[in-house]
């Protein structure tokens, strides 16, 4: 494998340079990796001392791009001290874990590193409306490819094609038509939030598609990841909390989308083609109502075990947590609750930083909407997405894609969203390279809304 060292080094340097200039390239890279992993089910890896995955090839350059932007491009005043503090604690936990448990600590740390470094990176940009529009378009386009994979697998499983055995084996629950995992279903759920948001707060440059919205909604329901159902509904329902949203219009859009979906599915329902889907979905919904048995009951018992483990330790352990690689308080798998997982790994201090960071973003976005109702389209969207993300963390942990949404939301909470500005690649490049031409085009130093 030594012959790959030079090409990987060249790729790494080019990726660091490119990502430090254009955040939409990083978005596309992360989401394309998600689609590749979805299609092949088993993640690609190369053995180079330890297993190197596709996400490593993207998130490690993104981490170094974030450092370049913060230190060399002087974006550090816009990085949240809470998020920096949380990062220091997880790295302390990593180094402690490497000393005690070896490379097992790195495996445990990997997904948290993806999430933390991605958030730090995306937080380091000052966004214009045009930049976020491009990022959202990339998200919708790439997640539409993911949607095609899902519908292909629905058909293959309904018709009992031999290929369907590959994803059935990968899913230990045995639920029919659960053809992708919860993290991939989450991407589809957040796409539903993005599409629905366009109906309630229309933008002249964006033409929402009712058919596409219905296809995404049906896929999210049929995949039967109840945590994704909850996250998507919480995200949409959070609109009722925001100023400037006409509540009767919101209810009306629910009715319109539901009617369109029913009309599209009516022929299939009448011919009995959806009987298996409906039976499976109804069964999943019934299980969701029982909090003492099934997967939720098992998770609740694991949460109680983690809390009991944490309480009986000394104050230093309670403050900083256990190091990575030390297991999860005796339970076999991760605790299926990121806030408890964070408590175990980063203690009271790290969890305090994490929760306060999320709460601060939501409050800042909310009060910014009160003060600046003219530019509310994307701040409203990211308020919804962060609420959905927090709901998802009740049964699951963060993934690499989550840093995209959290980082952009963190930037919007600290800086104004510029409606006019960097609209071309050349202008963006001049700004990010900090050349003399950029003196009159310095969006990075836009005053904070709160100043």
Q: Phi, psi (5° rounding) for residue 51?
A: -70, 125
Kindly report the number of other CB atoms within 10 A of residue 312's CB atom. Answer: 9
Query: Six-digit token pair at 77?
Result: 């005043």
Q: Is residue 30 part of a domain?
A: yes
Would you list the DSSP string of 287-308?
HHT-SSSHHHHHHHHHHHHHHH
Which residues does the chain have with pLDDT short of 70?
A: 1-5, 48-49, 202-208, 246-250, 253-254, 256-258, 260-297, 373-374, 418-451
- Residue 117 and residue 403 in contact, taking contact as beta carbons nearer than 8 Å: yes
Q: Is residue 451 part of a domain?
A: no
For position 274, what pLDDT does the model report?
56
- Structural domain span for residue 124: 2-445
For position 302, what pLDDT does the model report?
82
- How is residue 102 annotated by DSSP? T
For position 148, what pLDDT does the model report?
97
For position 286, what pLDDT does the model report?
54
Query: Six-digit token pair at 410?
Result: 């963190």
pLDDT tens track for 115-124? 999 999 999 9
Query: Rounded to whole angstroms, how far apart are CA atoms 217 and 416?
Result: 32
Specify the number of domains making up the chain: 1
Query: Six-digit token pair at 317?
Result: 């352990």
- How large is the angle between the packed helices 210-223 and 182-200, nearest 10 degrees? 150
For position 413, what pLDDT does the model report?
92
Q: Is residue 11 part of a domain?
A: yes
Q: Is residue 137 part of a domain?
A: yes
Q: Is residue 450 part of a domain?
A: no
Q: Is residue 258 part of a domain?
A: yes
């Amino acid at each position: 494998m030594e012959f790959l060292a030079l090409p990987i080094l060249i790729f790494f340097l080019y990726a660091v340079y490119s990502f430090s200039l254009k955040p939409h390239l990083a978005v596309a890279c992360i989401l394309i990796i998600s689609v590749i992993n979805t299609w092949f089910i088993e993640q690609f890896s190369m053995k180079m001392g330890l297993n190197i995955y596709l996400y490593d090839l993207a998130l490690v350059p993104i981490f170094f791009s974030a450092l370049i932007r913060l230190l060399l491009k002087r974006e550090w005043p816009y990085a949240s001290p809470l998020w920096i503090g949380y990062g220091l604690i997880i790295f302390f936990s990593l180094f402690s874990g490497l000393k005690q448990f070896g490379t097992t600590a790195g495996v445990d740390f990997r997904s948290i590193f993806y999430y933390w470094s991605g958030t730090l990176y995306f937080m380091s940009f000052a966004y214009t409306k045009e930049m976020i529009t491009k990022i959202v378009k990339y998200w919708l386009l790439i997640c539409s490819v993911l949607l095609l994979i899902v519908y292909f697998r629905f058909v293959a499983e309904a018709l009992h094609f031999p290929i369907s055995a590959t994803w059935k084996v990968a899913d230990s629950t045995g639920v029919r038509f659960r053809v992708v995992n919860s993290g991939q279903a989450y991407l589809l759920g957040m796409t539903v939030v993005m599409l629905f948001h366009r109906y309630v707060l229309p933008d002249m440059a964006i033409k929402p598609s009712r058919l596409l919205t219905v296809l995404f909604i049906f896929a999210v329901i049929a995949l039967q990841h109840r945590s994704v159902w909850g996250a998507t509904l919480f995200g949409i329902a959070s609109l009722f909390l925001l100023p400037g949203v006409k509540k009767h219009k919101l209810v009306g859009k629910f009715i319109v989308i539901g009617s369109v979906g029913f009309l599209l599915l009516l022929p299939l329902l009448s011919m009995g083609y959806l009987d298996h889907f409906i039976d499976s979905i109804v069964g999943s919904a019934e299980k969701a109502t029982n909090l003492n048995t099934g997967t939720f009951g098992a998770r609740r018992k694991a949460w109680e075990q983690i809390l009991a483990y944490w309480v009986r330790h000394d104050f230093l352990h309670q403050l900083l947590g256990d190091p990575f690689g030390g297991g999860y308080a005796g339970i076999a798998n991760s605790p299926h609750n990121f806030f408890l997982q964070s408590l175990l790994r980063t203690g009271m201090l790290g969890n305090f930083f994490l929760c306060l960071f999320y709460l601060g973003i939501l409050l800042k976005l909310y009060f910014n909407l009160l003060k600046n109702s003219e530019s509310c389209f994307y701040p409203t969207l990211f308020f919804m997405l962060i609420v959905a993300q927090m709901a998802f963390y009740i049964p699951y942990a963060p993934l690499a894609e989550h840093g995209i949404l959290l980082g952009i939301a963190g930037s919007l909470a600290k800086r104004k969203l510029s409606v006019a500005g960097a609209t071309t690649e050349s202008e963006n490049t001049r700004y990010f390279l900090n050349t003399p031409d950029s003196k009159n085009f310095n969006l990075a130093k836009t005053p904070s809304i709160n100043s």
